[in-house]
Amino acid sequence: MDKLREECGIVAVSLKASIEAAELAYFALNGLQHRGQQSAGVAVCHDGIMSCYKDMGLVTEVLDEKILTLLKGEMALGHVKYGPAKESFQNYAQPLIINYRNGSLATAFNGALINGNKLRERMEDNGVIFSTKSDCEVIAALIARHDKNDITGAVKKTMQEIKGGYALCIMNHNCIIGARDPLGIRPLALGKIDGGYTLASESCAFDMMEGEFIRDIKPGEIVIIDAEKVISDESLVSKDNGAAFNSAMCSFEYVYFARPDSTIDGLNVYDVRENAGRTLAAECPVNADIVIGVPDSGTPAAIGYSLGSGIPYRPGLIKNKYVGRIFIQPTVAQREIGIRIKLNPIDSLVEGKSVVLVDDSIVRGITMRKIITSLRHAGAKEVHLRISSPPIRNRCYFGVDTTDVKNFIATSRPVEEIRQELDADSLAFISLDGLVKSLGGPDCGSGYCTGCFSGEYPMEIE
């Protein structure tokens, strides 16, 4: 793994006069594929009866034409997932369907709970049996226990028990419910489609369905959706300090996770990344001939650096889009070969040049070291590395896979030592203040979680 991995992406669709909700969910999940490539699934509800298909693999591999033909319903709940190796099995794929006294319940979850284990142990002491260690199953069990013929009330009581960063979608026999954690750490948005409404982790999913972005779900808000209306419950939305709501949105969503064509909490992701590049140029200038970005996620920041510094931008690295994902190759040697195949410099652009190489982040540094080596082999005179996020030194507790943070290149090393390890002529990271400035600064109306950079988290970690 040489990039941080998001846990998953979710979509929910409710239609008024059609049973093609699964087809729309399929298109939306393709738009959210960057949020998880381990598994995919869709659950549907038709005339109160639920069915689901999910498996390991990409959306196009799991949900083929034959499967979609069988998944008919006026409501659909879809999910793509990335998870640690211990969850690389079909029973961890979502959506999760449970049957209980009030019927069937489908749940899809993005994020992580910091008290999930305690809640699971408490319910196990009371006789509840679980088939996985997933937080999604804990949440589904809590909703089922609290549901006294009031699904919205059950979701609200569950949210008052769970702690963490999450976006949640639930489907029962007559509605879809969406909820976002009280600090809004994980994103969730509301959209309008032809004949109904939809929820998704990112607004880009609505474009895939030819829909319309309406707004972001507020931190702590619960929305109840059927095909004809949307009802909002804001009883858990914070009113502290007279603000409309308080939040701690994950800053890394803007740095890397989200697609650049998405808008989250009023901020366009591409604009944030370009702003970060401009800020990086002001904070960490260097004399150079060209600026190049590591495609695709480093490109907007590289363009911003070029605009901020006046150094010309050139597409000096070509990405082979038909190569499999590097991080799943089983050995280091195979991963290194994969890096050479996936990213290749244009010799004529870099030969004899002093190059500013811009990327969004460094995790282990394996890929970056190989990229710098390839640029030198292509004739680059100097390689000055600039990173549009601060060094990642701490664990994320809210849904990002940082289980091997001790192996991250910046965990316990000073910048100069990292530079030497990567064989760059110079290395600089954007400051934490600079990143916040790129996000709109302290007056933008909401805060951000920067725990993976600063070690300071928006809630107490038990």
d(CA 400, CA 250): 10
Q: Are residues 329 and 213 in the same domain?
A: no
- Confidence class of residue 338 from pLDDT cuts 50, 70 and 90? low
Domain boundary among 196, 216, 245: 245
Domain assignment present for 251: no
**Which residue segment(s) compose the domain that 444 sits in?**
263-451
- pLDDT attached to residue 325: 47
Q: What is the mean pLDDT of residues 108-120?
A: 96
d(CA 24, CA 13): 7
d(CA 291, CA 278): 12
Domain assignment present for 257: no
- pLDDT attached to residue 333: 56
- Which of 47-56, 158-167, 433-442 is predicted least confidently? 433-442
- pLDDT attached to residue 330: 46
- Is the model's pLDDT at 147 over the cut of 90? yes
- Is the model's pLDDT at 36 over the cut of 50? yes
- Is the model's pLDDT at 340 over the cut of 50? yes
Q: What is the mean pLDDT of residues 147-175?
A: 96
Domain assignment present for 250: no
Q: Are residues 272 and 227 in the same domain?
A: no
**Is beta strand 176-180 parallel, antiparallel or unpaired with respect to 222-225?**
antiparallel
d(CA 264, CA 188): 8
- pLDDT attached to residue 218: 96
Q: Are residues 180 and 309 in the same domain?
A: no
- Is the model's pLDDT at 86 over the cut of 70? no
Looking at the chain, the whole-number percentage of residues with pLDDT higher than 70 is 91
Q: What is the mean pLDDT of residues 296-314?
A: 97
- Confidence class of residue 336 from pLDDT cuts 50, 70 and 90? low
pTM above 0.85, yes or no: yes
Token pair recorded at residue 383: 């390689």
Q: pLDDT tens digits for 411-426?
A: 989 999 999 999 999 9
Q: Are residues 86 and 181 in the same domain?
A: yes
- Is the model's pLDDT at 168 over the cut of 80? yes
Q: Assess contact for 40 and 58: CB atoms under 8 A.
A: yes
Q: Are residues 345 and 399 in the same domain?
A: yes
Q: What is the mean pLDDT of residues 275-285?
A: 98
Give me the number of domains the chain comprises: 2
What lies within 8 Å, CB to CB, of 96 at 6+ separation is 106, 107, 108, 134, 136, 137, 140
Q: pLDDT tens digits for 393-405?
A: 999 999 888 878 8
- pLDDT attached to residue 208: 97
Q: What is the mean pLDDT of residues 84-89?
A: 62
Q: Are residues 269 and 143 in the same domain?
A: no
Q: Are residues 43 and 138 in the same domain?
A: yes
Query: Active-site residues: which are they?
Result: 8
**SS3 string of the chain?**
CCCCEECEEEEEEEECCCCEHHHHHHHHHHHCHHHCCCEEEEEEEECCEEEEEEEECCHHHHCCHHHHHHCCECEEEEEEECCCHHHCCHHHCCCEEEEECCEEEEEEEEEEECCHHHHHHHHHHCCCCCCCCCHHHHHHHHHHHHCCCCHHHHHHHHHHHCCEEEEEEEECCCCEEEEECCCCCCCCEEEEECCEEEEECCCHHHHHCCCEEEEECCCCCEEEECCCCEEEECCCCCCHHHCCCCCEEEHHHHHHHCCCCCEECCEEHHHHHHHHHHHHHHHCCCCCCEEEECCCCCHHHHHHHHHHHCCCECCCEEECCCCCCHHHCCCHHHHHHHHHHHEEECHHHHCCCEEEEEECCCCCCHHHHHHHHHHHHCCCCEEEEEECCCCCCCCCCCCEECCCHHHCCCCCCCHHHHHHHHCCCEEEECCHHHHHHHCCCCCCCCEEECHHHHCCCCCCCC
Q: pLDDT tens digits for 359-394?
A: 999 999 989 999 999 999 999 999 999 999 999 999
Domain assignment present for 462: no
- pLDDT attached to residue 320: 81
* Cα torsion through 444, 215, 189, 139, rounded to 10: 90
Q: Are residues 292 and 439 in the same domain?
A: yes
Token pair recorded at residue 427: 């290395």
Q: What is the residue type of 256?
A: Y
Q: Are residues 241 and 271 in the same domain?
A: no
d(CA 335, CA 369): 12
Place of tokens 């308080």: 246
- Is the model's pLDDT at 137 over the cut of 80? yes
- Is the model's pLDDT at 135 over the cut of 90? yes
- pLDDT attached to residue 400: 86
- Confidence class of residue 445 from pLDDT cuts 50, 70 and 90? very low
Domain assignment present for 287: yes
CATH of the domain at 304: 3.40.50.2020
Q: Assess contact for 159 and 165: CB atoms under 8 A.
A: no
Q: Are residues 232 and 268 in the same domain?
A: no
Q: pLDDT tens digits for 244-277?
A: 447 899 999 999 999 999 999 999 999 999 999 9
Domain assignment present for 258: no
Domain assignment present for 300: yes
- pLDDT attached to residue 82: 84
- pLDDT attached to residue 4: 72
**SS3 string of 110-166?**
EEEECCHHHHHHHHHHCCCCCCCCCHHHHHHHHHHHHCCCCHHHHHHHHHHHCCEEE
d(CA 303, CA 251): 20
Domain boundary among 245, 278, 304: 245
φ, ψ at 77 (rounded to 5°): -130, 120
- Confidence class of residue 328 from pLDDT cuts 50, 70 and 90? very low
Q: Are residues 286 and 405 in the same domain?
A: yes
CATH of the domain at 193: 3.60.20.10
Average of per-residue pLDDT values in the chain:
91
Domain assignment present for 461: no
- Confidence class of residue 240 from pLDDT cuts 50, 70 and 90? low
Domain boundary among 245, 278, 313: 245
- Is the model's pLDDT at 332 over the cut of 60? no
- Is the model's pLDDT at 223 over the cut of 50? yes
- Is the model's pLDDT at 444 over the cut of 70? no
- pLDDT attached to residue 462: 74
Token pair recorded at residue 315: 């597409």
Q: Is the dihedral of CA 439, 441, 445, 448 positive or negative?
A: positive
- pLDDT attached to residue 106: 98
- Is the model's pLDDT at 282 over the cut of 70? yes
φ, ψ at 69 (rounded to 5°): -65, -30
Q: What is the mean pLDDT of residues 177-200?
A: 97
Q: Are residues 147 and 276 in the same domain?
A: no
